[in-house]
Amino acid sequence: MNFAASPVLTLRLPVWRSRFMVVVFFAGFAVLIGRAVYLQGWNNDFLQAKGESRYSRVIEIIANRGRITDRHGEALAISTPVKSIWVIPDEVKMDKEQLMKLSAMLEMPPQEIEKRVADKDRDFVFIKRQIPPEVADRIAELHLAGVFQSREFRRYYPGGDVMAHVLGFTGADDIGQEGVELAFQKDLAGKSGSRRVIKDRMGHIIEDMQSIKAAQEGKDIVLSLDARIQNLAFGQLREALDQHRAKAGGVVVLDAMTGELVALANLPTYNPNNRTHLSGESLRNRAITDTFEPGSTLKPFTIATALDAGRITPETTIQTAPGTLTIGKATIHDAHAEGLLTVSQVIQKSSNVGSAKIALSMPSELMWDMFHSVGFGQQPQLGFPGEATGKVRPAKTWKPIEQATMAYGHGISVSLMQLARAYSIFARDGELMPTSLMKLDSPPTAKQVIAPETARAVRAMLELAVQPGGTAPRAQIMGYRVAGKTGTAHKQEHGGYSNKYVSSFVGFAPASSPRLIVAVMIDEPSAGQYYGGTVAAPVFAKIMEGALRTLGVPPDAPMKPIVLPAAGQEVKESI
Alpha-carbon span 413 to 290, nearest angstrom: 9
251, 518 contact by CB (below 8 A): yes
Alpha-carbon span 72 to 81, nearest angstrom: 25
279: left (phi over 0), alpha (psi -120 to 50) or beta: beta
Closest by Cα among 100, 107, 106 to 149: 106
Of the residues 224, 282, 296, 364, only one is catalytic, namely: 296
Question: Which residues, including other chains, have CB under 8 Å from residue 440's CB and lie 6 or more apart?
Answer: 224, 258, 259, 260
Burial 191-216 (b: 16+ CB within 10 A, else e): eebebebebeeebeeeeeeeeeeebe
Whether 194 sits among the annotated catalytic residues: the reply is: no
Q: Cα–Cα–Cα angle for 403, 409, 412, nearest 5°?
A: 75
Q: Look at the alpha carbons of 50, 51, 52, 55 in this order and tell me if their dihedral is positive or negative.
A: positive
Alpha-carbon span 518 to 520, nearest angstrom: 7
> DSSP per residue over 461-500, as a string?
HHHHHTSTTSS-GGG-BTTB--EEEEEEEEEEETTEEEEE
Question: Which residues, including other chains, have CB under 8 Å from residue 27's CB and lie 6 or more apart?
Answer: none
SS3 state of residue 400: helix
CB atoms within 10 A of CB 571: 21
Alpha-carbon span 517 to 504, nearest angstrom: 14
Please provide the size of the chain in residues. 575
131, 81 contact by CB (below 8 A): no
Burial 478-514 (b: 16+ CB within 10 A, else e): ebbbbbbbbbbbbebeeeeeeebbbbbbbbbbbbeeb
Q: Cα–Cα–Cα angle for 56, 59, 63, nearest 5°?
A: 160
295, 488 contact by CB (below 8 A): yes
DSSP conformational letter for 42 = I
Closest by Cα among 327, 325, 349 to 338: 349
DSSP conformational letter for 385 = T
SS3 state of residue 333: strand
End-to-end CA distance of the chain: 132
Q: Which residues are catalytic?
A: 296
